[in-house]
């Protein structure tokens, strides 16, 4: 005979499936009134509350569900852990996943869930070790190998990750995600020709698209402003927001109706600001890719712009359904998406030249639309502190605040040459991953392997606020860009805080963004075309303290007076690009 409480919980699950989360919550409360510690009701009410965006209450009931979980029920704990993971990665989620693994180490999904949570927490060394342990139990799991490759990449070991992903694609040729991951890893490793990244991305979509039929969209409207949608998980305190917010706010509303689709549940004051700047704000963070595509189609969008590409939280599967009349990708991903339903990609002539020094169009699935003189417009944080002058005494301090996975062995060897060329100089480094002691130890070992002594390096701890982060530039004389994957926000931040940036240009978008930013800011002489020149520029800047002081005092104003700080001009260029795409596709 069915337990009546269990029957009520099953009914609550039916309510969730029917998108009636409030009804599911009400049913679970009736169960808990009779049995306050009934674990299945605690888990389901947590999910129902999450779906209603009652996040604090969802977390409370999730914790209770863990405390009162059925003994030795790994399946219950796994369902709970996946549910809690939606609220954000943390130690509690790790703990629940570890309980699952301890109960049944042969179940691959438990290892996969654990490694994914560790990756999201920036615990990359632990994630790599956990993936290896999982593979020992489940050697046939390509997903675990995939997560191990991602962890290796996030440790800054891009060259090693490239070898591992190539092995995965070779030995599991039917495992489609390996091809997309190999395409992405080339942005960091640069160990394959750029054309291979396009080929791998296209291979991924050749296999995926048959399962994603295009949607039927209404015929183009011939009157009224163009309806432009922006899709991103990063309408929040995130690098993307610094560049897209002025565009959303400044597009000519006589010509464009702007809709923002936010696909991340974690929202903040920046989210609020952007939601007020657009004409229509859609929170699609809890929807499937089909739900996002349906929402876009129902909103009758003319041009839909992706701002994430294949990064975390991206919506490529929704774009694959072709829910709008025209699709474009911009800003959040530094290369081709490979997606046949992506019509355009917005770049500039520095990042993606037309013919010389290479033909960028040959490396793109999308048609390139250039927003010259720059595809970027930087909107600094209102919390930014004033530029602080450096003391003329003491050693020269080089710095990089770029992400760990951009700090490859190639980059470290280049930095080692700079430090050797400037005796007594020091190097300060900061990124979110360095909050982990295990990663800091691994990082020092990698620096030593590249010839950089530990006593010449300082690793800054993670900062909680944007202002604290920007204040650390007061301790840097010259910023060193990474290679091949350049900084974008970090380069703009450095210039805004009065710190010159030395960059090295290459032969693909990802290693030409520094050139684009510096050229637009009137500082193109700081971008090298060879490693020898990179070292020489850094050495020359370090040799003239007086010039560094003058640069520091004027660089912010120079940058914001340039094209990269001119929001009005950028909105005009962006508007012209939108009209060009619409005209070419017969919308106007």
CATH of the domain at 280: 3.40.50.11380
pLDDT at 462: 84
Identify whether 11 is part of a domain: yes
User: Is the separation of the CB atoms in 503 and 535 below 8 Å?
Assistant: no
User: Is the separation of the CB atoms in 562 and 556 below 8 Å?
Assistant: no
Question: According to DSSP H, which parts of 391-527 are helical?
Answer: 409-421, 437-449, 466-471, 489-496, 513-520
Q: Work out the angle at residue 332's Cα, subtended by the Cα atoms of residues 330 and 334, and round it to the nearest 5 degrees.
A: 85
CATH number at residue 441: 3.40.50.2000
Strands 501-504 and 478-480: parallel
Helix (H, G, I), strand (E, B) or coil at 460: coil
pLDDT at 221: 81
**Number of Cβ atoms within 10 Å of the Cβ of 133:** 15
Supply the pTM of this predicted model.
0.94
Asked if 420 and 561 sit in the same domain, the reply is yes
Start-to-end Cα distance in the chain? 66
Asked if 371 and 488 sit in the same domain, the reply is no
User: Is the separation of the CB atoms in 43 and 80 below 8 Å?
Assistant: yes
User: Is the separation of the CB atoms in 242 and 492 below 8 Å?
Assistant: yes
Rounded CA-CA distance 183/204 in Å is 10
Asked if 29 and 152 sit in the same domain, the reply is yes
Residues with Cβ within 8 Å of residue 131, at least 6 apart in sequence: 111, 115, 144, 145, 147, 148, 151
User: Is the separation of the CB atoms in 355 and 368 below 8 Å?
Assistant: no
Rounded CA-CA distance 89/93 in Å is 7
Distance of CA 445 to the CA centre of its chain: 26
Distance of CA 355 to the CA centre of its chain: 29
User: Is the separation of the CB atoms in 347 and 371 below 8 Å?
Assistant: yes
Q: Identify the H or E element spanning 501.
A: strand 501-504
- DSSP code string of 301-330: -SEEEES-TTSTT--HHHHHT--SSEEEEE
Asked if 362 and 416 sit in the same domain, the reply is no
Helix (H, G, I), strand (E, B) or coil at 88: coil
Two tokens, residue 526: 């700081």
Asked if 453 and 312 sit in the same domain, the reply is no
Helix (H, G, I), strand (E, B) or coil at 519: helix
Identify whether 215 is part of a domain: no
Asked if 245 and 362 sit in the same domain, the reply is yes
Rounded CA-CA distance 333/319 in Å is 15
Rounded CA-CA distance 501/512 in Å is 13
pLDDT at 2: 67
Tens digit of pLDDT per residue, the chain (588 long)? 568 999 999 999 999 999 999 999 999 999 999 999 999 999 999 999 999 999 999 999 999 999 999 999 999 999 999 999 999 899 999 999 999 999 999 999 999 999 999 999 989 999 999 999 999 999 999 999 999 999 999 999 999 999 999 999 999 999 999 999 999 999 999 999 989 999 999 999 999 999 999 998 888 887 899 999 999 999 999 999 999 999 999 999 999 999 999 999 989 999 999 999 999 999 999 989 999 999 999 999 999 999 999 998 999 999 999 999 999 999 999 999 999 999 999 999 999 999 888 999 999 999 999 999 999 999 999 999 999 999 888 999 999 999 999 999 999 999 999 999 999 999 999 998 887 787 888 899 999 999 999 999 999 988 989 999 999 999 999 999 999 999 999 999 999 999 999 999 999 999 999 999 999 999 999 999 999 999 999 999 999 999 999 999 999 999 999 999 999 999 999 999 999 999 999 999
How many Cα atoms occupy the beta-carbon half-sphere of 463 within 13 Å?
15
Identify whether 350 is part of a domain: yes
**Number of Cβ atoms within 10 Å of the Cβ of 391:** 7
Indicate the residue among 377, 406, 431 that finishes a domain: 377
Asked if 98 and 153 sit in the same domain, the reply is yes
Closest among 328, 249, 262, 265 to 295, alpha carbons compared:
262
Which DSSP state fits 393? Answer: S
- DSSP code string of 473-485: GGG-SEEE--SSS
Rounded CA-CA distance 540/533 in Å is 10
Identify whether 178 is part of a domain: no
pLDDT at 426: 98
Helix (H, G, I), strand (E, B) or coil at 387: coil
Rounded CA-CA distance 243/348 in Å is 15
Which residue is it, tokens 């791998």? 200
Asked if 327 and 415 sit in the same domain, the reply is no
Two tokens, residue 416: 């080692």
Number of H helices, E strands in the chain: 24, 13
Q: Could you tell me the CA-to-CA distances from 61 to 20, 38, 76, 79 in Å, in that order?
A: 19, 11, 14, 14
Helix (H, G, I), strand (E, B) or coil at 370: strand
Two tokens, residue 333: 């991903």
Closest among 142, 187, 186 to 167, alpha carbons compared:
142
Asked if 335 and 442 sit in the same domain, the reply is no
User: Is the separation of the CB atoms in 245 and 312 below 8 Å?
Assistant: no
Distance of CA 369 to the CA centre of its chain: 22
**Number of Cβ atoms within 10 Å of the Cβ of 561:** 12
Identify whether 233 is part of a domain: yes
User: Is the separation of the CB atoms in 244 and 230 below 8 Å?
Assistant: yes
Residues facing residue 346 across a β-bridge: 330, 369
Indicate the residue among 125, 157, 189 that finishes a domain: 157
User: Is the separation of the CB atoms in 406 and 188 below 8 Å?
Assistant: yes
Asked if 423 and 297 sit in the same domain, the reply is no
CATH number at residue 119: 1.25.40.10
Which DSSP state fits 583? Answer: H
Indicate the residue among 126, 142, 157 that finishes a domain: 157
Asked if 325 and 469 sit in the same domain, the reply is no
What's the burial of 120, exposed, middle or buried (CB within 10 Å: 0-12/13-18/19+)? middle
Closest among 263, 305, 306 to 284, alpha carbons compared:
263
Identify whether 122 is part of a domain: yes
Q: Work out the angle at residue 422's Cα, subtended by the Cα atoms of residues 421 and 428, and round it to the nearest 5 degrees.
A: 115
Rounded CA-CA distance 231/260 in Å is 6
Q: Give residue 152's domain range.
A: 4-157
Identify whether 210 is part of a domain: no
Asked if 144 and 249 sit in the same domain, the reply is no
Identify whether 179 is part of a domain: no
Rounded CA-CA distance 366/307 in Å is 15
Which DSSP state fits 213? Answer: P
Which residue is it, tokens 């989620």? 93
Q: How many domains does the chain have?
A: 3
């Amino acid at each position: 005979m069915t337990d009546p409480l269990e029957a009520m919980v099953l009914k609550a699950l039916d309510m969730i499936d029917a998108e009636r989360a409030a009804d599911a919550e009400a049913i679970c409360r009736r169960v808990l009134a009779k049995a306050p510690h009934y674990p299945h009701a605690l888990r389901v009410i947590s999910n129902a509350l999450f779906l209603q965006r009652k996040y604090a209450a969802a977390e409370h009931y999730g914790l209770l569900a863990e405390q009162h979980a059925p003994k030795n029920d790994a399946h219950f704990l796994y369902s709970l852990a996946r549910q809690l993971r939606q609220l954000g990665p943390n130690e509690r989620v790790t703990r629940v996943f570890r309980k699952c693994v301890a109960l049944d180490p042969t179940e691959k999904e438990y290892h996969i869930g654990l490694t994914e949570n560790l990756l999201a927490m920036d615990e990359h060394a632990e994630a790599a070790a956990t993936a290896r342990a999982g593979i020992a139990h489940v050697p046939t799991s390509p997903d675990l190998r995939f997560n191990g490759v991602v962890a290796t990449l996030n440790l800054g070991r891009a060259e090693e990750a490239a070898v591992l992903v190539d092995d995965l694609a070779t030995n599991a040729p039917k495992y489609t995600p390996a091809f997309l991951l190999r395409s992405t890893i080339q942005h960091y490793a640069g160990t394959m020709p750029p054309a291979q990244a396009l080929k791998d991305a296209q291979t991924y979509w050749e296999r995926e698209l048959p399962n994603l039929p295009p949607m039927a969209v209404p015929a183009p409207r011939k009157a009224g402003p163009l309806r432009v949608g922006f899709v991103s998980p990063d309408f929040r305190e995130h690098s993307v927001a610094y560049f897209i917010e002025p565009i959303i706010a400044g597009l000519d509303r006589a010509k464009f109706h702007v809709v923002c689709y936010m696909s991340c549940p974690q929202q903040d004051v920046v989210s609020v600001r952007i939601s007020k700047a657009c004409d229509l704000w859609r929170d699609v963070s809890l929807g499937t890719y089909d739900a996002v595509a349906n929402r876009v189609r129902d909103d009758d969008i003319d041009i839909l712009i992706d701002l994430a590409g294949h990064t975390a939280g991206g919506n490529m599967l929704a774009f694959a359904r072709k829910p709008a009349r025209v699709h474009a990708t911009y800003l959040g991903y530094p290369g081709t998406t490979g997606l046949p339903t992506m019509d355009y990609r917005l770049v500039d002539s520095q990042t993606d030249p037309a013919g010389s020094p290479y033909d960028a169009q040959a490396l793109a699935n999308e048609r390139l639309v250039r927003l010259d003189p720059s595809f970027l417009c930087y909107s600094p944080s209102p919390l930014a502190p004033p530029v602080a002058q450096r003391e003329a005494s003491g050693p020269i301090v080089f710095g990089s605040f770029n992400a760990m996975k951009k700090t490859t062995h190639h980059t470290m060897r280049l930095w080692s040459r700079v430090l050797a060329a400037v005796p007594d100089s020091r190097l300060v480094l900061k990124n979110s991953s360095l909050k982990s002691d295990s990663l800091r130890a691994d990082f020092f070992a990698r620096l030593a392997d590249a010839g950089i002594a530990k006593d010449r390096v300082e690793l800054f701890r993670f900062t909680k606020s944007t202002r604290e982060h920007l204040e650390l530039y007061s301790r840097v004389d010259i910023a060193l860009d990474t290679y091949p994957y350049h900084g974008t926000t970090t380069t703009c931040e450095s210039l805004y805080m009065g710190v010159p940036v030395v960059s090295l240009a290459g032969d693909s978008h990802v290693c030409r963004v520094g050139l684009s930013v510096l050229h637009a800011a009137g500082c193109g002489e700081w971008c090298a075309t060879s490693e020898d020149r990179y070292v020489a520029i850094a050495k020359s800047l370090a040799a003239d303290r007086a010039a560094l002081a003058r640069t520091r005092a004027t660089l912010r104003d120079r940058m914001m007076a340039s094209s990269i700080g001119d929001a009005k001009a950028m909105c005009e260029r962006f508007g012209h690009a939108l009209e060009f795409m619409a005209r070419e596709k017969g919308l106007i």
